[in-house]
Amino acid sequence: MMGQRLFAANLRRLDQETGSTLFELFFAAMIMAIISTVVLAAMVAVQRTEVREEDRSLNNDQARAAVQELDREVRSANVVYDPAGERDASGTPTPYFGLRVSTESNAPTRNANQALCEQWRVSGGQLLHRTWRSGSSTASPWAIAGNGIVNASTSPSTAVFKLDPSTPTGRRVVQVTLLVNARAGSAATMQQTIRIQTSLAMRNVSYAPQDPCTPVPAG
């Protein structure tokens, strides 16, 4: 009798210590996999959002820095050339992707109170500029005013510089459109392109017979 009670007690103890079945382990693994997938997807989405916002901020900073540089030089211009007639370094016409002005910005310190010729050009995704004294055959090296300019990547290309033909401003106003994407290269990143449009009103603009910035130095 005592042996039977001990045997029954041992059976109950074994029942209580029985581990999980294979099905239970499989079900738990599936639950963990689903939870991990959801968490990972959420983390990836958050990271992508942060990258997009970072790109947008970078593009915005690039565009505004370029416009500020343009604004400082161009608003003090006294002669402006039509961007429709601009050419690249090889002499190939590049209408609306370049701008030439005779500017008096910082004239007392830069050129003994004389206006300087200033040339702007968009090439290779960069906004470049250089200066030279009127009548000189040499110019300063090209300096980078902005990167990630993608006006040439649109179809059709987007003009960077245009003279405002409207009345009464006539040709005293230059319309500037900059499409900026510091990480351009795919359709996805192109969606982060920043578009900045502004009009720069020039003071004391004059035309023929004044032609201080022709010929243009090579380069």
Report, as an integer, the average pLDDT of 16-31. Answer: 72
In a domain, 109, yes or no: yes
In a domain, 21, yes or no: no
Residues 174-199: tens digit of each pLDDT: 899 998 887 766 555 667 788 888 88
**DSSP output for 153-180:** GSSSPPPSEEE---TTTTTSEEEEEEEE
Quote the tokens at residue 212.
């201080």
The CA distance from 65 to 127, in Å, is 11
The reported pLDDT for the residue numbered 7 is 47
Total number of domains constituting the chain: 1
In a domain, 157, yes or no: yes
Q: pLDDT confidence of 148, banded at 50, 70, 90?
A: confident
In a domain, 3, yes or no: no
The CA distance from 210 to 100, in Å, is 13
Give residue 91's domain range. Answer: 40-201
In a domain, 61, yes or no: yes
Q: Where are the beta strands (DSSP E) in the chain?
A: 77-80, 98-103, 116-123, 126-132, 143-147, 161-163, 173-180, 194-201
In a domain, 54, yes or no: yes
In a domain, 174, yes or no: yes
Work out whether the CA dihedral 33, 39, 43, 44 comes out positive or negative. positive
In a domain, 12, yes or no: no
